[in-house]
Homo-oligomer: A and B are copies of this chain.
Amino acid sequence: MAPTHRVAAIQFEVKPVAPEENHARACTLIREAAAQGAELAVLPEFHLNGFAPTNPLYATQATTSPHYLKSYQALATELSISIVPGTFLEQHADPTPPSTTQPHPPNEDKNKITNHYYNKAYFIGPDGSILGSYIKRNLWISERGFISPPPASQAAGPARYPVFDTPIGRVGMLVCWDLAFPEAFRALIAAGAEVVIVPTYWTNNDASPALRAINPSCEPLFLSSILTSRCYENTCGIIFANVSGSASDSPDSSSSSGKYIGMSRVVMPIVGTVKTLDAREGVCVADMDMGLLKLAEENYCIRGDVKGQKWIS
């Protein structure tokens, strides 16, 4: 019998530049997930302070991520649960140039050692240890003026898209806009990833007014089709945790209204969406049947073909 893992994708409305408040909310929801028997809880991208690069507080807060990371490590140990605390905005003083020609943060003195801001995810095991990390590579357009892709030392090879063993199987992590690039998934499954964890800050406003006038559900359609598609085309499971609106702010749960999409979900091949949330705050607890991956591979042989580079070469 293949194992089944109970996992939780957590979504809530992230308040800009309010890390203490967001951290407290996240901890409450992680406790809810643990109470429902989840082995793993995943938070959204930028879950501590949102995305507010023009706010003077924002860059300062990028130095506080080690403090919050330690707090989540302690919580993981206390609850004996794995935690992916979405992503942190992290400041790194890095004497080496970034791997692409990113513009510098606007408020930076170019004569100093370059400070890079990374968008970074961690996987914390149930004993509090850090089992893996990933710096977002495929930056969304509005991030590109402020956040750097990984440093040159991680520009190639397995470090590009790291894969590591966890209590729920072999895991890779991607962040938000990485979803649009099938190449990122291919690199992970070539290294044996069974589950891909995707913290996200994806809103309806990522489509321009022109696009939303044509289809108000433009972004939810993008997400729902691509998440299911990635599971089929790579024979992997996905845990997707997105930001949401608060329940009181979003009385209409339709994902096509307002800024927030939510849709945090667990997706697998064969069945597609195992369980999903609407646009409102919540904890999506779902059982991932790892046997589905074996059955899908027996039928489609995609991982075997990709590994052999036989049919796509």
B-binding residues in A (CB < 8 A): 100, 137-139, 141, 149, 155, 180-184, 186, 207-208, 210-211, 214-215, 218, 221-222, 224-226, 228-230, 232-233, 270-272, 292, 295-296, 298-302, 305, 310-313
A229 CA / B272 CA spacing, docked (Å)? 14
Closest chain B CB from A88 CB (angstroms): 21
List B contacts of A226 (CB < 8 A): 225, 229, 232-233
Task: Identify 14 new A-B residue pairs, CB closer than 8 A, beyond the known A155-B313, A183-B186.
Answer: A138-B305, A138-B311, A180-B233, A181-B233, A181-B312, A182-B183, A208-B299, A211-B299, A214-B295, A215-B272, A221-B228, A221-B272, A222-B232, A229-B230
Do the beta carbons of A180 and B138 come within 8 Å of each other?
no
Q: Which residue of B lies closest to A271 (CB)?
A: B215
List B contacts of A301 (CB < 8 A): 141
Do the beta carbons of A272 and B225 come within 8 Å of each other?
yes
Closest chain B CB from A231 CB (angstroms): 9
Known A138-B312, A311-B149; judge A299-B207 contact (CB<8 A).
Answer: yes
List B contacts of A292 (CB < 8 A): 214
